[in-house]
Amino acid sequence: MEQKQWGVYVHIPFCRQKCFYCDFPSFAGRERYMKEYIRALCQEIEVRGSSYVRRWGNPATIYIGGGTPSALPAALMEQLLLAIGNVFCIAGEEVEFTVECNPGTVDAAYLAMMHAHGVNRLSFGVQSFDDELLRRIGRIHTGEQAVQAAVMARAVGFSNISIDLMYGLPGQSMAELKAGVEQALSLQPAHISIYGLQLEEGTAFARLQEMGKLDLPTDEDTEAMYDYMTEVLPANGYERYEISNFARPGFASRHNLSYWQDLPYLGLGAAAHSYLEGQRWEAETEIPAYIDLIKSGQSPFKLEEPATRAIAMEEFAFLALRTTAGISRQRFEQKFGCSFDSVYQQAVQRLCDKGFLVDDGDAVYLTKLGMKYGNWAFEEFLLF
């Protein structure tokens, strides 16, 4: 058996309500499919999960994301966790096992049940602690529920808790943002992610923006929010290890790091992506179609258009540049069989001259300024 470092992603495509900014493959009002979906997903875990364990050994990380995994009723979540535990070895802390949770969907018993089944990391989509702002962006929970969810999680034994926060939201002020960050810090999570609002096509916010009805903060205000967060989190012991991610020492998300480090992962469930042996695959997005494919023993996966060598190099560079470790020359050369400098020497020089990049000989990585203006820096790594 070829022992490999690899990860497993499990997708739960259900949400109670669609947040106004969200373009993830998740659906509200499809609860009627939950039972059948979990049955099909458990079957896929059993068949495909086992086959990769036989080939590569146990995965280093398992991540149940969505959607809202915690929107599943406790009995279905338990069924899913049992299926995962039957295929992968999840005892102890060796495997990082994360479940994404919406604070409006959990109670102490639900959290304790997940902990008892080997989950050792929770990622709470909090976004804000301000009830009015939460309502304005379509979240189903309150600030108090977010606080309680984190407190309950700790009480039932979780020490590795992550909190997501958003900035640049409609009607959001600097004072609200600061209060939210302070509230998050007071909960002492192991990990904090920060996301600026992106207006994605097809979302309620994109439509409102087209109609001129979205009251967004100015670019200067959004930039000030970003500057504040990227200052205050490290000052409070949260080391930045990726553009949007900060963690106490030893608590960087191993699963997410594996995406940026070009490691393989197996995606299970509708709309899940896989990256296996250099090829990217995408599963059927529609829930009923996914269930039918699994039931009839067919593969739910389609191979994505294979990337050209140039696109593969760009992707490798973009992903690695997101992390503070940056692009390793050695890893680039191992993967592509040519020297990093033969491809990117001029881009590196231009970005170093602007103060966006540091070159330490082994790796090149973005400076704080480079992370702030990441898109400009990434453009330099386009090959055409």
Task: List contacts with ligand SF4 (CB under 6 A).
Answer: 15, 18-19, 22, 24, 26, 66-68, 102, 125
State in angstroms the smallest separation of the CB of 10 from ligand SF4.
14
Please identify, using beta-carbon distances, which residue of 133 and 366 lies nearer to ligand SF4.
133
38 exposed, middle or buried (CB, 10 Å; 0-12, 13-18, 19+)?
Answer: buried
Q: How far is the CB of 15 from ligand SF4 (least distance, A)?
A: 3
Q: Which amino acid is at 369?
A: L
Please give the Cα distance from 121 to 2 (Å, whole number). 28
Name the minimum Å distance from CB 168 to ligand SF4.
15
**Which of 21/97 has CB closer to ligand SF4?**
21
Identify which of residues 126 and 313 has a Cβ nearer to ligand SF4 in the complex.
126
Q: Is 69 or 326 the residue whose CB approaches ligand SF4 more closely?
A: 69
Smallest gap from residue 17 Cβ to ligand SF4 (A) = 7
End-to-end CA distance of the chain: 40
Rounded to whole angstroms, the Cα distance separating 137 from 204 reads 9
CA distances from 377 to 256, 319, 325, 357 (A): 21, 12, 16, 8
**Minimum gap (Å) between residue 348 Cβ and ligand SF4:** 36
C-beta of 139 vs 240, nearer to ligand SF4: 139
Residue closest to 14 by CA, chosen among 68, 82, 91, 56: 68
Q: What is the dihedral of CA 332, 336, 342, 345, to 10 degrees?
A: -30
Nearer to ligand SF4, 195 or 281 (CB): 195
Check if the beta carbon of residue 127 is closer than 8 Å to that of residue 134: yes
Cβ 372 to ligand SF4, closest distance in Å?
24
Tokens of 373: 């203006």
